[in-house]
Structure 1
Amino acid sequence: MTERGLSSAAGQPEGAAVIGSGPNGLAAAVTLARAGVPVTVFETRGTPGGGTRTEDRVMPGVLHDTCSAVHPMALASDFFQRFELTQRMEFAVPEASYGHPLDPADGRGGIAYRSLDRTAEELGRDGAAFRRLLRPLVRNIDAVQSFAMGGALLSMPQPFVPAIPGMIALGLRVAEQGTPAWNLRFSEAAAPALLTGVLAHGIGRLPSLATGGVGMVLAAHGHARGWPVPIGGSRSIADALIADLEAHGGRVVTGQRIGSLRELREHGSYGTVLADTSARGLARIAGDALPAGYRRTLERQKFGPGACKVDFVLDGPVPWADARMSETPTVHLGGTRAEIAAAERDVLRGRHPESPFVLLVQPDRFDPTRNPADRHAIWSYTHVPNGSTLDVSERVIAQIERFAPGFRDRIIATEVITADDYSRYNENSVGGDFSAGAVTMRQLLSRPTADLAPWRTPTPGLYLTSGAVAPGPGVHGLGGYYAARDALHRVYGLAEPDLGVRSSRESGR
C-alpha cells in the first residue's frame, strides 16, 4: 500500500520536486527519473552542482573547485557505484593519496600512498605500527565503507557475518584514534601527524570519536582505492548526473529560489518534495506542513566551525621543501599532531589560530585540462569559528610558506571566501559549516533524528536529502539516493530502477 503524497488527491501522486542541485539532490532526481517519475530540480544559483561546482573565479581560464575538490567518497559510494560514475567521467587516481610535511626539527613528513607497505616503509620506526593500525581496515574496506555509509549509523552491511571483522577493526581503531589513547602506538612525529591531517577532515575536537570515525574511514580508503581527482573539475560529477537526469525526462531549473512549499506550488503540482537543504532550511520551507515537534528538532540542529577558503593562481608549481609533496594532489599543513590539535581546539573556542590547519589541493599536475601550462590553480581552506567574517589569507599563506619557501613569490592572483561569504553563497553552509551540521557523535547518531530512515519526515512525501541526514557530509549522493528509494516504495509503489550505463542506453532507444 502506498502513502498519499503532498499534492495528491486520490490515486497516483504527482511528480517530484527536488530543492537544491547538489550531489544528493541530483542523486535523488536521477533515481526517481529512472523509475519513470517526472522530476524537476530547483536551484537558487545560476549554475547547478551545489558542492560540486567548478568555476574560473580567481582568473579567467583557470578552473578552481568552489567547494569540494578531491572525492574519495565518489569511489566508495554505493550510489555512484550503481550509477557507474567512473564510466561516465574520468578520474585521476594518484599513487599518493595525501601528504603531510613536517619541519626538519620534527623529522621527515609522511606520504599516504595507495600502497600501505610503501607508506609504512617511509615512516621510520613507526611504520610497522602504522601498518598494523590500517591493514585490517584496508583488507575489509567494503565492510568498513558499507557500515560507515549505510544510511544510518545502525545499518549493517550485507552479508553481515563476513563483515564482522571489518566492523570490529573499525570500532577498535576509532576507540584508539578518537580518544587520548591515540598516541600510544607511536614514538615519532610523522605517522601520527599523517593521520591527524585526515582526522581533521571531521572538523571537530581532536581527538574525539566523531573525528576518529571520519578520519579512519578516509585513511583506509586512501590505501584501498585512493583519493581521486575529477578530470575537468568537480563539476564533471554534476554534469554526469544532469546528463542522465535529462536523458530520462527530468529537468533542472536554475536561478529559482524556493522559499516555501507555497512558492513551490506556483511552479506545479508535486506529490513528493525532496529537500537538499540544511535541517533549518527544510523547517523554514515546510513550515506548518511539518509537525511542530519535528520542526523544533530540525531547528535545534547544531552547526560546527566554518571554513575560510583561499584560492591561488601561481606562476609555477608549489616549491615544496619536501619534494615528495608534489606527488599528491592533497597536502595537509599544520605541523605535528599536537600543533594541529591545538589549532582545532582554538577554533572550537571561537578563536582564529595564528598557525592554522590548512588543507591544500594542487590538482593541475593530475588534471592538466584545468589551466594553461604557465598557470597553476591552488585550492585551500582552513577552519574558523562559525560565522567568521575574518580574512585569514595571510595566516594561510604563512602556513604554506612554512613548508614551501618561496610560495608567496609565485602568487599572481588570490580569492578569499570567508565563512560568512560561504553561508551567503550556499544557504546549506550555515555560518560557513559546509558539513550542513556539526559532525559530533550525538549528531551522527541522530542526524537529524535517531531513526533508521532519517531522510523521511513525518509528513508523507516530504524528505530531507542533504548532508544534514545520515550518512552525513561528503560527495556521495547517498542521502538523496536513500530518500528517493523510500519515496519510490512508499509514495509511488515503484521498484528501484537499474542505474547503470547500459540500462541508460537501452532506455534511450
Structure 2
Amino acid sequence: MADGFDAVVVGSGPNGLVAAVTMAEAGRRVLLLEAAGTFGGGLRTEELTLPGFLHDVCATVLPLARASPALREMDLGVEWAYPDVQAAHPLDKRPAVLVRRSPEDTARGLGRDAAAWLATVGATARGGDRLVDTLLAPLSVPRAPLRAARFGALAALPATAFARTAFRTAEARAVFAGMAAHSMLDLRAPITAGYGLMLAGLAHHVGWPVVRGGSQRLAGALVRRLEALGGEAHTGHTVRSLGDVPQAGSILLDLTPRQVLAVAGDRLPALYRRRLGRFRYGPGVFKLDWALSGPVPWADPAVGEAATVHLGGTLEEIAHGEAEVARGRHPERPYVLVVQPCVADPSRAPEGRHVLWAYCHVPNGSTADMTEVIEAQIERFAPGFRDLVLARGAMDTAAMQAHNANYVGGDIGGGAGDLGQFFGRPVHSPAPWATPVPGLYICSASTPPGPGVHGMGGREAARLALRREARAAWRA
C-alpha cells in the first residue's frame, strides 16, 4: 500500500474509529486498517442464528457511547432506541428491582433504601456530563473536582462492602451487585463499587439505549465520518508487523499488549517489552445467542420492559459466583448478563419474534460449555423460556478471541480492570498511550479509561499524537 498518509490506525474497534476520526478532524490524511471483513470490533451485528435475526456479536446496550465526550460531540446520525426500563434485576419469589430513567422512580421501588439510592447513585447521576468527563479522562485535570472526590471516596470500596454499608434491603444490595458485576472482578476487590456507581448513574443520566438496527450502525457511521474527512478505511488487511503499515508520522494501534508485542516487538526497547508482557488479562465470557418465537416469559412481567437484565439473585449469590471465577472456577449459578434488544428495537427480528443474548463470566481461556447453566438461570426467573427457542448459537472464549483478537482468552475488556491496572494500562506512565518508539501509540481498551464503547482511549491517544507532532514541528 502506498505511503503518503499522515496517520495510520490499526484496528477499527470503537477506540480505533474515534482515533482515526480525531486525526482526520485535525486535517491529517488517515488510513484505517482492519483485519476482519467488517469494521467495528465489538460493534458488529450478524445473523448468528437464523436469517432475519440480527444479533450484536458483543456490545449492544451503549450508555457510555451516549455519555462519552468523544462520541456525544459527533453528529453521527444514528438512531437511538430506549427501553422503558433501563435495567431489571429479578429475584426469587418477589418482584424484580427495576432501574428506571428517573432516580426518584427507581428509589420508590427500593422502600427503606430510597434515600440511600438517591444519595449515592442519584448523586452520581446529578454529576452530569462534568462528572462523566472527569471519570472518563482519569489522567486529566478534573472538570468536577469536588464531585469526583466524593465519588472516589465511595468508588474505591469493594462492591460488597459498599452495598452492605449503604443499603439495608436485599433488593437494593442485589441490584447494585448486578451493576458492579460488569467489572468482571471479584466483588470483594477494591474499586468494584465504582463500576456499579458509574453504570447505575448512567442509567439515570443518559439511559441504557441500543442503536436501532444493530450496533454495527454506530461503527458504520464513524467510518463514513472518517471518509467524509478524506480518510481511507480498508477491511481484510491483517497487520502482522509494522512492515505491513505504510510510513506515517503517527501510527496508532487499537490492539492489546499481546498483539502490540507481536506487531511491534522488534521495534520496542527490551524494558518496555517486559512491562507489556506483564499485562494481565481478566476473565473471559461464554456467550449464547437465541432466536425466539416470542418474548421471554419472565415470572415478573415487568422484566420484559428492560433491554438489560441481570440474573444472579442476591448480593451474596452474585459475589460468590464472581469470586469463584476469580479463583479459576466455574460457578454452578453464575451471574448472567441478559440482553433483549427487541424490547427497544423490534427491527432486530421478524415480526413477533425476538433475539436474545446472554453471557456469563468464566476463567480466562475456559473451554467449558456453559449453555446448560446459563439457560438454567434464565429458566429460574422465566419458566418456559426453553420452549421459545427456535435456534441458538454459542461462543466460548476461543470463539470470542477468533472473532476479535483483542478478546484474549475471551476477555472482552482488553485486560483486567482491577486497581493495579485501572491507571496502569498498559503500563504505569503519565502518557500510557505512548510507546517509547516516536510516533507509535496504543489506543485500545488496554489504555485509560479502559473497557466500554466510549472511544476515549482512541481520542486521548490521537490528541497526544497531535500534540507531539505540533511540538516536533515547532522545534524544527
TM-score interval for Structure 1 and Structure 2 normalised by the shorter chain: over 0.9
Task: Name the counterpart of 1:505.
Answer: none
Structure 2: distance between partners of 1:119 and 1:191? 10
Distance (Å, rounded) in 1 between the aligned partners of 2:396 and 2:176: 27
The reply to whether residue 145 of structure 1 matches residue 132 of structure 2 is yes
Which has the higher mean CA deviation after the structures are superposed, 399-408 or 120-129?
A: 120-129
Question: Is 1:294 aligned to residue 272 of structure 2?
Answer: yes
Distance 1:182 1:363 in 2: 29
Contact 2:22 2:459 survives alignment (8 Å): yes
Structure 2 residue 119 is matched with structure 1 residue 132: yes
The answer to whether the Cα contact below 8 Å between 2:64 and 2:452 also exists between their aligned partners in 1 is: yes
User: Is this contact kept in 2: 1:31–1:485, CA < 8 A?
Assistant: yes
Provide structure 2 residue ranges, at least 5 long, that are not aligned to the other structure. Answer: none
Alignment of 1:94 onto 2:75: no
Give distance in 1, aligned partners of 2:51 and 2:454.
30
Question: Does 2:47 correspond to 1:56?
Answer: yes
8 A Cα contact 2:39 2:235, kept in partner: yes
> How far apart, CA to CA, are the structure 2 residues paired with 1:148 and 1:179?
22
Instruction: Determine the C-alpha separation between the residues in 1 that align with 2:232 and 2:264.
Output: 22
Native 8 Å contact 1:388 1:431 kept in 2: yes
1:83 aligns with 2:64: no
- Measured after TM superposition, the shift of residue 179 of structure 1 is 5.6
The equivalent residue for 1:336 is: 314
CA distance in 2, matches of 1:363, 1:181: 31
My pick for the range that moved more, 465-474 or 95-104, is 95-104
Partner in structure 1 of residue 412 of structure 2: 434
> Could you report, residue by residue, the CA deviation over 1:54-85 in whole angstroms, capped at 9, with x for unpaired residues?
11111111100001110011011111122134
Contact 1:178/1:210, CA 8 A, preserved across alignment: yes
- Verify the 8 A CA contact 2:83 2:343 in the aligned structure 1: no
Whole-Å Cα distance in 1 between the matches of residues 157 and 192 of structure 2? Answer: 11
CA contact (8 A) 1:388 1:419 kept: yes
1:35 paired to 2:20? no
**CA distance in 1 between partners of 2:160 and 2:293 (Å):** 43
Match in the other structure for 1:156? 141
For 1:302-451, what aligned pairs fall within 5 Å after superposition? 302-451=280-429
* Partner residue in 2 for 1:118: 105
- Superposed CA offset, 1:119-164 (max 9, x none): 11111222222222222212113232122101xx342323xxxx23
SS at match of 1:455: coil
User: C-alpha offsets along residues 435-487 of structure 1, whole Å, 9 cap, x if unaligned?
Assistant: 11101101012111222321111111100000000000111111111111122
Distance 1:129 1:49, change over 3 A: same
Letter in 2 for 1:67: C
* Distance across 1 between alignment mates of 2:276 and 2:349: 42
* Contact 1:210/1:439 (8 A) holds in 2: no
Residues 150-194 of structure 1, C-alpha deviation per residue, up to 9 Å, x if partnerless? 1xx342323xxxx23311321232245536353023232111111
**DSSP 3-state at the match of 1:489:** helix
Measured in 2, the distance between the counterparts of 1:493 and 1:180 equals 47
1:108 correspondence with 2:95: yes
User: 1:426: Cα distance to partner?
Assistant: 1.2
SS at match of 1:145: helix
1:24, 1:478 within 8 Å by CA — same for their partners in 2?
yes
Q: Distance in 2 between matches of 1:31 and 1:139?
A: 29
Q: Find the residue that maps to 2:414 and give its secondary structure.
A: coil
The 5 Å alignment of 1:453-492 reads 453-491=431-469
Shift of 1:398: 0.4
How many residue pairs get matched?
Answer: 472
Residue pair 1:358, 1:380 contacting (<8 A) in 2 also? yes
Q: What is the aligned counterpart of 1:259 among 240, 243, 260? A: 240
Q: The residue matched to 1:96 in structure 2 has which SS?
A: coil
Query: Conserved in 2, the CA contact under 8 Å of 1:179 and 1:209?
Result: no
Q: Quote the Cα distance in structure 2 between the aligned partners of 1:437 and 1:476.
A: 16
Q: Deviations over 1:405-448 (max 9, x none)?
A: 11011011100000121122211111000111101101012111
Report if aligned partners of 1:174, 1:216 keep a CA contact under 8 Å in 2. yes
Contact 2:53–2:350 (Cα < 8 Å) also in 1: yes
Structure 1 residues 417 and 430: alpha-carbon distance in aligned structure 2, compared to 1, 3 A threshold: same
Is 1:217 paired with 2:198?
A: yes
Asked if 1 retains the 8 angstrom alpha-carbon contact of 2:142 and 2:148, the reply is no
Match of 1:196 in 2: 177
Asked if 1:17 is matched to 2:8, the reply is yes
What amino acid does structure 2 have at the position aligned with 1:53? R
Task: Report the Cα distance in structure 2 between the residues aligned to 1:263 and 1:48, rounded to whole angstroms.
Answer: 19
The aligned residue for residue 64 of structure 2 is 73
SS at match of 2:304: helix
Q: 1:299 to 1:99 in 2, by over 3 A?
A: same
What is the one-letter code of the residue matched to 2:383?
Answer: P
Q: What CA deviation, in whole Å up to 9, does each residue of 1:288-317 have, x standing for no partner?
A: 211111111111100010000111111010
Secondary structure of the 1:51 match is: coil
Residue 62 of structure 1 aligns to a residue in which SS?
coil
Q: Evaluate the alpha carbon distance shift between residue 416 and residue 127 of structure 1 in structure 2; reply closer, same or farther with a 3 A threshold.
A: same
Residues 68 and 454, structure 2, Cα contact 8 Å, conserved in 1: yes
1:380 maps to a residue whose letter is A
Q: How much does 1:492 deviate?
A: 5.4
Q: Is the 8 A contact 1:140 1:165 kept in 2?
A: no
Q: Distance in 2 between matches of 1:452 and 1:337?
A: 37
**Matched residues, percent identical?**
46
Structure 1 pair 143–177 and aligned structure 2 pair: CA distance change class (3 A):
farther
> Structure 1 length as normaliser, TM-score?
0.89
